Amino acid sequence: MTRYTPTEILTAGANDTRETFAHLYVVLDQLRAAAAYNYHLAFVDEEAAAGDGRLPFHPAPAGFGGNELAVPARPIRLDRLTDAGLALYAHGIQAALAEQEQLLKQIDQARYDLERMHIAMTGTNSTTVDVAIRAIDINAARANSTRDTVELAAWDVPVRIPGGDTVLNPPEVPLAPG
pLDDT band, very low/low/confident/very high, at 28 (cuts 50, 70, 90): very high
131/99 Cα distance (integer angstroms): 47
Domain count, the chain: 1
Q: In terms of residue numbers, what domain contains 38?
A: 6-56+72-112
Measured between alpha carbons, how far is 126 from 29 in angstroms, rounded to an integer? Answer: 29
Burial group, residue 12, by CB count within 10 angstroms (0-12, 13-18, 19+): buried
CA angle 78, 80, 86 (to 5 degrees): 50
The tens digit of pLDDT for each residue in 100-145 reads: 999 999 999 999 888 888 877 777 666 777 777 888 888 877 777 7
What number of helices (H) and strands (E) belong to the chain? Answer: 3, 2
Q: What does the pLDDT read at residue 93? A: 94
Give which of 145, 95, 109, 110 is closest to 37, Cα–Cα: 110
Looking at the domain assignment, is residue 41 inside a domain?
A: yes
Please report whether residue 93 resides in a domain.
yes
Query: Is residue 103 assigned to a domain?
Result: yes
**In this structure, is residue 159 part of a structural domain?**
no
Alpha-carbon gap, residue 56 to 19, rounded angstroms: 28
The verdict on residue 135 lying in a domain is: no
Q: Is residue 139 part of a domain?
A: no
Short-list 26, 170, 158, 6, CA closest to 92 = 6
Residue 150 lies in a domain: no
At 43-97, the pLDDT tens digits run 777 666 566 667 777 676 666 766 666 677 788 888 888 999 999 999 999 999 9
Q: Is this structure's pTM higher than 0.85?
A: no
- The answer to the question of residue 145 being in a domain is no
